[in-house]
Chain A
Amino acid sequence: MIEVAIKNFVEFEFSKPPLYGIQRLRLTPKENEKQKIITWDIILKGARKETEYFDHHGNFCCLLTFEKDIKTISISAEGVVGIRQTIGVVNDLSEIPYWLFKRHTDLAKPGRSIREFCKQFSDDIVSDLDLVYDVAKCLKKLLTYSIGTTKIDTTAEEAFLLKTGVCQDFSHIFISCMRELNYPARYVSGYLKMNDKEDQEATHAWTEVYVNNLGWVGIDVSNNIIVDENYIVLATGFDYKDAKPLHGIQFESENNSIKTAIKVQQQSLRVKI
């Protein structure tokens, strides 16, 4: 098992503090057979925790509200997560039936071009797993990673037409294809540990596809397809909307800026005997 230390720091800054601000955090790694929390803390400045609970996907959520009349609010989610090496397949205990992951969602709804693209995969399937990888590889070839071409609410179809986007778009496109091909698929937000780079600007996103008799297979279309022990899951959802690490509303604030700083580093390697 490897231990990875993570620190996810988010700071809101307002020139005029909001009348009211509320945030739902999914900033606690989701525990499953592949990853376990060793320590984890959420430290708030200028905000208070209202409640915490597990949502329907099994994500640990924390609801917080901003303190009144405060211009700078910071959230730091930090701790150590133990990761087991696996072949990239996980199972978890969410009660959501698999077929519900075939339901199209607003952000990952296929349009004409995605449906057209999916047609090439409908014949002579070798195995489910092969098909999943085929689609992923094909998309990886087709899409170019590029920041600034898409927005936070760009849909799968819109991004697919542009043939570019960021990890969020790639995941939506892939989810949309998999559901079109009748596979349950879900969005994953989390961290990717990179050997050459501890400091990162944003959380990562990838996809999990449910394959019968196997489990949830992780696929990262924006990188090397295979999701290995370098990936740490924060939250899963039907699409970005219910897996996003931070989701909130501010009322009557002005000039808000959000700064994010993420650090992901390996601590030690423990070999289980």
Chain B
Amino acid sequence: MSFFDEMFADSETTRSCYRKYYSWLNSPEQKNIVKRKDEAENVFRRTGITFNVYSEKEETEKLIPFDLIPRILGDEEWRMIKKGVEQRVRAINSFLFDIYHQQEIIKANIIPHGLINQNDAFLPEMIGFTPPNGIYTHIAGIDLVRTSEKEFLVLEDNVRTPSGVSYMIENRETMYNMFPELFSKIKVRSVTEYPSELIKALKASHPHLADENCTVAVLTPGIYNSAYFEHSFLADQMGVELVESQDLQIVDGKVAMRTTQGYKTIDVLYRRVDDMFLDPLSFKEDSRLGVPGIMDIYKSGSITIANAPGTGIADDKAIYSFMPKIIKFYTGQNAILKNVETWRCSEKDHLQYVLQNIASLVIKEVHGSGGYGMLIGPTASKKEISIFKSKLLRNPSNYIAQPTLSLSTVPILKKSGLTPRHVDLRPFALVSPNSVFVTPGGLTRVALKKGSLVVNSSQGGGTKDTWVLEEE
């Protein structure tokens, strides 16, 4: 299989957006750049940019490996991605509004109601309720893969609590610190405004208060959560409190946090706690991560919860396959960013096809994430395939299948020099009442193992700084 490499068009030529960088890299001063790898790692370790790995005994904090070679996107290709992400995020919000109100898309026979009915991410509590300003996904992360010069495909939508934005920013800070001269040579669009754009979007999501009177807080499950660093990073960067369940309770009809001087009302809560743990009175009764009664306050209109509960119905892997139709239905346009072809194993003929072609497909759990519980046909052993087949047959509707994609590669820096590895891209979008902001770039995840297509950090993936070049 041959792959599209983003740096080299062929063994002789560098693709245009990498040209300046590549000549810098080849300058005599950068001869020893590989030695500076540890430097970056030390920065991350010192600043505590760690993530927690589940089910490990002693050392639960790990660093995500950072590769020094940036992933570079040209202005033109970025403009296409940006438009596509905007379109998708708008369509997702329209879909969420519809599915929790009149459900026109079901009445129009575009989505079968069974798909919604069987889906735990669909929250009946949200039916008939309109979140402030009608916004459901204040923050969205859209996972893209590139398969050729012109083609970016959407692999997955993340509209519950997408993470990774802190790595995007810290990666850039690290690059600024390590290679300041590079950024005076090459004009790269900034990503460090993200936190101020985020607080703007969050404050704007409160319909009744002016900015200065609006109190925002970030809700974290606590320091043992795998994304805790990001939670504290965002709270810190936005200058708002990072709260936990134990800080919050209902006071005077509002959600309030316990300060040294008493309880203070929260108007907008950017929560990084999953729906099921948000309110023990409404969802999982034994949750100690949420706020009992917050749904009552929410439905009374006295707090904005970002993202809104119940958004998970839109990023489900089974719904994903309908996304082109969803975009067409709500925007009247064809999807700018294409989907990856997807077979829903819940459907008989699809299942049939999947079973026959299992060795060439990637099979994923509908609700899975983090790269767990999936089968990569081409690299799986016969035994693994047969075990997976029986799992699949036991509960077909739990699975979808996709072709093995030829993900593009970008070189990483090894002792031996540059060597290509597969990458994906997660741009982040912020939705405000009148606009969608897409941060220029996003998080590039890279599979560090040779030939591997799994980029998840929990599975040994790393990250790269992602550059979008200024218009020439």
Interface residues of A (CB under 8 A from B): 20, 22, 24, 50-53, 55-56, 61, 63, 65, 94-97, 99-100, 102-103, 238, 247-249
Q: Are A56 and B293 in contact (CB under 8 A)?
A: no
Q: Are A63 and B128 in contact (CB under 8 A)?
A: no
Q: How far is the CA of A20 from the CA of B281 in the complex (A)?
A: 14
Q: Are B250 and A53 in contact (CB under 8 A)?
A: no
Segment of B118-126, B214-222, B343-351, B362-370 in the binding face: B118-126
Given A100-B117, A103-B117, A103-B118, verify A50-B293 contact (CB < 8 Å).
yes
Q: Are B128 and A50 in contact (CB under 8 A)?
A: no
Q: Are B113 and A51 in contact (CB under 8 A)?
A: no
Q: How far is the CA of A50 from the CA of B303 in the complex (A)?
A: 13
Residues of A close to B300: CB separation below 8 A: 51-53
Q: How far is the CA of A263 from the CA of B237 in the complex (A)?
A: 57
Q: Are B117 and A99 in contact (CB under 8 A)?
A: yes
Q: Are B281 and A56 in contact (CB under 8 A)?
A: no
Q: Are A56 and B250 in contact (CB under 8 A)?
A: no
What distance in Å separates the Cβ of A176 from its nearest Cβ neighbour in chain B? 16
Q: How far is the CA of A97 from the CA of B107 in the complex (A)?
A: 11
Q: How far is the CA of A259 from the CA of B75 in the complex (A)?
A: 70
Q: Are B117 and A95 in contact (CB under 8 A)?
A: no
Q: Are A102 and B117 in contact (CB under 8 A)?
A: yes
Q: How far is the CA of A52 from the CA of B296 in the complex (A)?
A: 8
Q: Are B127 and A95 in contact (CB under 8 A)?
A: yes
Residues of A close to B280: CB separation below 8 A: 249
Given A20-B249, A51-B302, A99-B113, verify A94-B128 contact (CB < 8 Å).
yes
* Residue B252 CB within 8 A of the other chain: yes
A-B contact pairs, 20 of them (CB 8 A): A22-B249, A24-B293, A24-B296, A50-B251, A50-B253, A52-B300, A53-B299, A55-B299, A61-B296, A65-B249, A94-B127, A95-B102, A95-B128, A96-B127, A99-B117, A100-B117, A100-B127, A103-B118, A238-B124, A249-B281
What distance in Å separates the Cβ of B139 from its nearest Cβ neighbour in chain A? 25
Q: Are A97 and B103 in contact (CB under 8 A)?
A: yes
Residues of B close to A53: CB separation below 8 A: 296, 299-300
Interface size on B, residues (CB 8 A): 29
What distance in Å separates the Cβ of A260 from its nearest Cβ neighbour in chain B? 20
**For chain B, what secondary structure do more than half of its interface residues adopt (helix, strand, loop), or is it mixed?**
loop
Residues of A close to B103: CB separation below 8 A: 97
| Among A96, A97, A247, contact of B281 (Cβ-Cβ < 8 Å) | A247
What distance in Å separates the Cβ of B269 from its nearest Cβ neighbour in chain A? 16
What distance in Å separates the Cβ of B123 from its nearest Cβ neighbour in chain A? 9
What distance in Å separates the Cβ of A94 from its nearest Cβ neighbour in chain B? 7
What distance in Å separates the Cβ of A15 from its nearest Cβ neighbour in chain B? 22
* Residue B101 CB within 8 A of the other chain: yes
What distance in Å separates the Cβ of B345 from its nearest Cβ neighbour in chain A? 21
Residues of A close to B125: CB separation below 8 A: 55-56
Q: Are A63 and B127 in contact (CB under 8 A)?
A: no
Residues of A close to B126: CB separation below 8 A: 56
Residues of B close to A24: CB separation below 8 A: 281, 293, 296
Q: Are A56 and B127 in contact (CB under 8 A)?
A: yes
What distance in Å separates the Cβ of A129 from its nearest Cβ neighbour in chain B? 24
| Among A51, A61, A65, A100, contact of B124 (Cβ-Cβ < 8 Å) | A100
Residues of B close to A102: CB separation below 8 A: 117
Residues of B close to A22: CB separation below 8 A: 249-250, 281, 292-293
Q: Are A96 and B124 in contact (CB under 8 A)?
A: yes
Residues of A close to B299: CB separation below 8 A: 53, 55
* Residue B129 CB within 8 A of the other chain: yes
Q: Are A63 and B293 in contact (CB under 8 A)?
A: yes
Q: Are A248 and B281 in contact (CB under 8 A)?
A: yes
Given A20-B249, A97-B113, A102-B117, verify A56-B296 contact (CB < 8 Å).
no
Q: How far is the CA of A105 from the CA of B11 in the complex (A)?
A: 60
Residues of A close to B250: CB separation below 8 A: 22, 50-51, 63, 65
Q: Which 8 A-B pairs have the closest CB atoms?
A: A95-B128, A63-B296, A51-B300, A51-B253, A56-B127, A53-B300, A50-B253, A53-B299
What is the chain A residue whose CB lies nearest that of B296?
A63
Residues of A close to B113: CB separation below 8 A: 97, 99
